[in-house]
Structure 1
Amino acid sequence: MNQNKNQNRTVLISGGSVAGPALAYWLHRHGFTPTIVERAPELRDGGYAVDFRGEALDVLDRMGLLAKIRALDTEMGDAAMVDAEGRTYATLPAAVFAGDLEVLKGDLTRMLYEATREDVEYVFGDSIASLEQDEDGVLVTFERGTPRRFDLVVGADGLHSRTRALAFGPEEEFIRHLGIYTAIFNLDNYLGLRNTGRLYAVPGKAANIFTARDNTEARAAFHFAADSLEYDRRDPAAQKRIIADRFADGGWEVPRLLKEMDASGEFFFDSNAQVEMDTWSAGRVVLLGDAGYCAGPTSGRGTSQALIGAYLLAGELAARDGDHTAAFAAYEQQMRPYVAEHQALGQEGAERFFMPAPTQEILDMLAANAPENARTEPVRLRDYTPATAA
């Protein structure tokens, strides 16, 4: 048995989106050797805009990325809510749907990659096939690569985490569906919008479009209410047919958006759900971000939660010289209050997502009650001093 706890230095991270690279950044700064395995063959460029709120801003500041992230801010203004004929009937204040800072997820992923690629091993186009733990480490087999041993394994591979399934059990034991499905895709800014969006909603369904990258592009989404659906998560064509069937009679720009969706190469479809678990670690395996405690897109806190979790997990491993048992427990103790708060927000957001056409008074009230997230100083986060400070 390995009695020297500070030998737990090699860490395999499954997932190369946000949580994984953020964790790798901090682990390297603390003297660990992280490896990231990502199923996708290259960096993913799709996805909607993501928000940064509260303590996540402090994490970005400590990473030296806050100014760079701010330079990529979508600077999204208020959006118009429209009826079937495209007539505006209300204005949705930006404070309702954006945090203190908002960027495209693809831009964030690329920035985190650029901040880590010189110091972190990335393995694209592969994924974990099996995990075999013993007292000294974890033997990992891959779908394509040669088996390797690591001291620790982190599942940062999202809502449908393969790592979670291998170490804890099938996902149906942990996922709580919020009753909403969402499709997101890239398209041209054919409406000529500038730093704004359009939202169209009918009972149980909604469609929207927002500008991106200095108005040169756009992102659109379809949302609909439904109980848990059976579908192939690896078949985008079948997923697009689900959307087309649901929105076949849609007004406004829906017919054009359906055509744009069908032609889009960057397409994402999934349920809005949360992950609820009694513990996020099993021996030498631990979960991070959506894999362990997804709050749901309706929370507006998923990205912030991933950054905070990565900072805390790496910091606790460093503070305890690689003693994973103590570090995992401390990480979970500190992270639980954030998760409880964010998941409550996600449930509230899902409950009012398809509310009847809101009046301007209601929208203004929602904006007035939006959390104030402009702070950039630490509020609750412990200050971990990296062993290899920048």
Structure 2
Amino acid sequence: MTSIGLSTGLSTHVSTQASTAAKRKVLISGASIAGPALAYWLNRSGFAVTVVEKAGALRDGGYPIDVRGTAIEVVRRMGILPRLRDAHIDSRRCTFLDADGSEVASLSPHAVAGGVEGRDLEVRRGDLAAALYAVVRDDVEFLFDDSIDTLDQYGQGVDVTFHSGRRRTFDLVVGADGMHSHTRESLFGPEEQFHRHLGYCFAIFTMPNTFGLSREVVLWNTPGKAAALYAVGDNDELHAFLTFHQPEPPFGALRSPDAQRDLVATVFAGAGWEVPGMVDAMRDADDLFFDTAGQIRMPHWSKGRVALVGDAAYAPSFLTGQGSSLALVGAYMLANALAANRDHTAAFAAYERGARGFVAMNQALVDNGGATLFPTTVRALEQRNTMLRDLVTMPSATVRPAYSALALPEFAPLPMNS
């Protein structure tokens, strides 16, 4: 595997040390974004890495996600930036509509979301996952269609019992298993104590592109409700989003797809534009994903020999557009800390010191993200529309400092006593 971002001499030094020392064994739960990224960097540092994923295979396709700022440097150092550039969606227009379907404003996506045109990336989630998997699959053990049942920590390691019944012992375990992390719940307790509900629910699904949309997003709003159609390239399929204000999380619906469909249909009953057809398509969709917009905020991201990374530790919510970027940067920072510190306690502390400020800045983006995209009152919607019209007449750079707030350290060589 080609080493990107390190000198050839350092790469040789790392691999030589790794081969002459007993490799530390790490289990990563989750094979979406943070998990494979962490696996790459840990493998590069001489760890023996196993990734367990409850899905039967890598998940392909999926809705578009953004990779921006500091995260661009992570994928560059991994050597996958050219592949992701080839997969770049390059949306060209974002059109906002009023309740009756009339146009409010049509803007470049960068004017709305921020970022740097020509440098930042927008790719399908599955394309990013596939690129990450491609650079680790030959060097890392993957256990698909399995998951962690129990973790039993003791002085020198972690005994893991898998759902399949197999049992293994690892030096360290990392939960990269998403916002509703089973690893986090088993170690730290119920999600509710770390979940900050942001007041919205959303449903995502695919439907036929019968609208002639191409490389664009169309967003319809009324107070507290929004519907969006997202055309990736010239595809004959659209990603559809139905988002609505919900002051308290509908915990019952989170566990029942039928209840989710009923809730969304009830909320959008009588809505205009193309919403009735979208609700019908949602009823028939076999890929419906429903969740609340929320963040995970934790005082610590590790306990003993187990740490969390990505959404499991600090989900920022889709309102920030930074979930995948935080996952990539967090994986790099955790692996770097483990490479630099033989003692896991010191490594986990260094990981938090290095990444927490960046995480906090990006989570704070939500404080205006929701209000901008999904106003909940007539007045707020009017103010948002006025702001959008001003952006049309006076285009301005909206690069958000949070995206690039962290300067990546050079990746640490293994300590000599590894």
Q: Please, what TM-score do these two structures have when normalized by structure 1?
A: 0.91
Q: Quote how far apart the aligned CAs of 1:32 are.
A: 0.8
Q: Which has the higher contact order (CA 8 A, sep 6+)?
A: 1
Structure 1 residues 342-351 or 354-363, which shifts more? 354-363
Q: Quote how far apart the aligned CAs of 1:127 are.
A: 1.6
Structure 1 residues 229-238 or 145-154, which shifts more? 229-238
Match of 1:3 in 2: none
> AA paired with 1:207?
A
Q: Does 2:398 correspond to 1:370?
A: yes
Q: Quote how far apart the aligned CAs of 1:8 are.
A: 6.5
Match of 2:14 in 1: none
Distance 2:406 2:316 in 1: 21
Structure 2: any 5+ residue segments left out of the alignment? Answer: 1-20, 376-380
| 1:178–1:347 Cα contact (<8 Å) kept | no
| 2:157–2:169 Cα contact (<8 Å) kept | yes
SS of 2:351 mapped into structure 1: helix
Match of 2:5 in 1: none
Match of 2:334 in 1: 313
Q: Quote how far apart the aligned CAs of 1:300 are.
A: 1.4
Of 292, 311, 333, the match for 1:271: 292
Q: Quote how far apart the aligned CAs of 1:43 are.
A: 2.0
Match of 2:55 in 1: 40
In the TM superposition, what are the counterparts of 1:162-177 in structure 2 within 5 Å?
162-177=182-197
Match of 2:96 in 1: 81
Of 286, 305, 312, the match for 1:284: 305
- Deviations, residues 140-166 of structure 1 (Å, cap 9, x unaligned): 112224121111110111111100011
Match of 1:30 in 2: 45
Match of 2:15 in 1: none
- Deviations, residues 168-193 of structure 1 (Å, cap 9, x unaligned): 11111111100011111122222111
Aligned residue-pair number: 379
SS of 1:299 mapped into structure 2: coil
| 2:215–2:233 Cα contact (<8 Å) kept | no
SS of 1:220 mapped into structure 2: strand
Structure 1 residues 351-360 or 35-44, which shifts more? 351-360
Of 281, 288, 293, the match for 1:260: 281
Q: Quote how far apart the aligned CAs of 1:109 are.
A: 1.2
In the TM superposition, what are the counterparts of 1:211-360 in structure 2 within 5 Å?
211-226=231-246, 227-321=248-342, 323-355=343-375, 356-357=381-382, 358-359=385-386, 360=388
| 2:114–2:400 Cα contact (<8 Å) kept | no
User: CA separation of 1:45/1:233 partners in 2, compared to 1, >3 Å: closer, same or farther?
Assistant: farther
Distance 1:98 1:151 in 2: 41
Q: Does 2:158 correspond to 1:132?
A: no
State the superposition RMSD in angstroms. Answer: 2.2
Distance 1:305 1:367 in 2: 28
| 1:51–1:300 Cα contact (<8 Å) kept | yes
Q: Quote how far apart the aligned CAs of 1:234 are.
A: 4.4
Of 222, 226, 236, the match for 1:202: 222
Of 196, 203, 209, the match for 1:183: 203
Of 389, 394, 397, the match for 1:361: 389
Of 410, 414, 417, the match for 1:383: 410
Q: Quote how far apart the aligned CAs of 1:213 are.
A: 4.5
Distance 1:350 1:82 in 2: 17
Q: Quote how far apart the aligned CAs of 1:255 are.
A: 1.3
Q: Please, what TM-score do these two structures have when normalized by structure 2?
A: 0.85
Structure 1: any 5+ residue segments left out of the alignment? Answer: 1-5
Structure 1 residues 117-126 or 325-334, which shifts more? 117-126
The alignment-based identity, stated in percent, is: 46
The structure with the larger Rg is 2
| 1:91–1:363 Cα contact (<8 Å) kept | no
Distance 1:333 1:161 in 2: 22
Match of 2:113 in 1: 97
- Deviations, residues 335-379 of structure 1 (Å, cap 9, x unaligned): 011111011102321243322041233545997352168x99x96
- Deviations, residues 233-252 of structure 1 (Å, cap 9, x unaligned): 34323222221121121111
| 1:244–1:258 Cα contact (<8 Å) kept | yes
Distance 2:185 2:207 in 1: 34
Distance 2:298 2:399 in 1: 27
> AA paired with 1:178?
L
